[in-house]
Amino acid sequence: MSDRGKMRLGAYFNPTGHHVASWRHPRAQKDAHVNIKHYVEIARTAERAKFDMIFLADSAATRRADIEALSRSIQFIANFEPITLLSAISMATEKIGLIATASTSYNEPYTIARKFASLDRISGGRAGWNVVTSGSAAEALNFSRTAAYPHAERYKRAHEFVEVVTGLWDSWEDDAFIRDQESGVYFDRDKMHVLDHAGQYFNVRGPLNVPRPPQGWPVIVQAGSSDEGIGLAAQFAEAIFSPHLTIEAAKPYYDKLKGQMAKNGRDPDHCKVLPGLSVIVAETEEAARKDYDFIQSLIHPIVGREILSTMLGEMDLTKLPLDEPLPEVLPPTNGSKGHYDSIIEMARKENLTIRQLGQRVAGARGKNVFVGNPRQVADYMEEWFVKGACDGFNVMPPYIPGALDDFCNLVVPELQKRGLFRTEYEGDTLRENLGLPRPECRYAKAPSAVSSSAAE
């Protein structure tokens, strides 16, 4: 067992699975995008395996693409809104954390603060907000814009957005609501606070019309590896879904983020770094490899090229030959810098053609893929963890429910046997299970001040 304690595990749920051709796999639920019973069952599966959280990605647009490629896809086409979906799932689960994605680019802080405070209340303290900025042109066109905000501006806006949201979550002190029927006082007026934020992007008065969340603040999650993303994470994030494919790439990022947290006066252990990992596991390596080859064979070349284009920041690849490498000179990306850099590095290192690169990244869309038997998967995860390249993983089953079942039934017991993963939940809230502190309300008096006042 590592002396670093236990791994943290998130379960990343795309409707039918993370693989672009997941919906075609016979062990996937092909109508998952509109099947609430499917989501409840997979959430319960992850909870039985003691996962820390389930995570729902989101986009406020149907992906723009070649219509043939689009018609063969499921990801970000038409599916449930995540906060609504997690509210329903919360009623069928008890311990597992519930992470929803919501963009700072096309929302208002007040609305986001209210929704996540409500989800935290409904779930008994299990909510988390995955903070994203939107670089997609398709999303911009749905919100009265002709183009996405530039990368640097997106992150400036995001900084202020999160500041406002966390301020609104502190609108009410924890014990503000007295509900004294005899005196007729419902809440202590001295424990309601007006934010009165006036900034570059937002002017928000407050207070929030939802009581303070059970966790104080829902857990703040982020995915981003650019300098701006690391800056935002070092200030606010409590879990990070990182895109790195190797220990050699992940370790410097891990150390840089933790170092910046310390400079910001934060305990580096109060942010859990969870690289994405898509696992195909079977009793034998041969059986796992056969399953991987099968699902890869289901990717259409046009779909592969379209996904590659999206991951490179919506770069137009349609005029380039499928069986030649990417050009040496490429335009800068307005999308995820982490994905862009990882894909370009892989393409150059292995001299892949666009067809090959498309098939490689389309399956798991640039995320790390491991294929093997339970011992091999656990060995791989343990090496990352022990070498300090992560605090755990965001597990991305390639198809669901089949590959999720396989991971929970085969890999989790192996991790538990090695003392790397819990056998029971430590607490009732997501913060308790992640080992994160509960933020104090910024307006609450220090205990010593309260004691002095009471003595007088």
Task: Specify the DSSP class assigned to residue 211.
Answer: P
Note the pTM of the prediction, 2 decimals: 0.88
CB atoms within 10 A of CB 445: 13
Rg of the chain on CA atoms, in Å: 22
pLDDT of 1 reads: 46
Task: Specify the DSSP class assigned to residue 335.
Answer: S
The position carrying tokens 């802080």 is 109
Tokens standing for residue 231: 């800056």
Q: What are the angstrom distances between the C-alpha of 209 and each of 194, 205, 213, 303, 408?
A: 11, 12, 11, 45, 40
pLDDT digit of tens for each residue in the chain (456 aa)? Answer: 445 689 999 999 999 999 989 999 999 999 999 999 999 999 999 999 999 999 998 888 777 767 776 777 766 677 899 999 999 999 999 999 999 999 999 999 999 999 999 999 999 999 999 999 988 888 888 888 888 888 889 889 999 999 999 999 999 999 999 999 999 999 999 999 999 999 999 999 999 999 999 999 999 999 877 788 888 889 899 999 988 889 999 999 999 999 999 999 999 999 999 999 999 999 999 999 999 999 998 988 888 888 888 888 878 888 888 888 888 877 777 666 777 887 888 888 899 998 888 888 777 666 799 999 999 999 999 999 999 999 999 999 999 999 999 999 999 999 999 999 999 999 999 999 999 999 999 998 755 444 444 444
351: which residues sit within 8 A by CB, 6+ positions away?
325
Please check whether residue 327 is in contact with residue 381, taking contact to mean a CB–CB distance below 8 angstroms: no
Task: Give bridge partners of residue 165 from the DSSP assignment.
Answer: none
Q: Which domains does the chain have, with CATH numbers?
A: 8-284+368-443 (3.20.20.30)
Which run of H or of E encompasses 410? none
Task: Give bridge partners of residue 272 from the DSSP assignment.
Answer: 239
pLDDT of 334 reads: 65
Tokens standing for residue 88: 């329903």
Closest CA to 113 of 59, 164, 155: 164
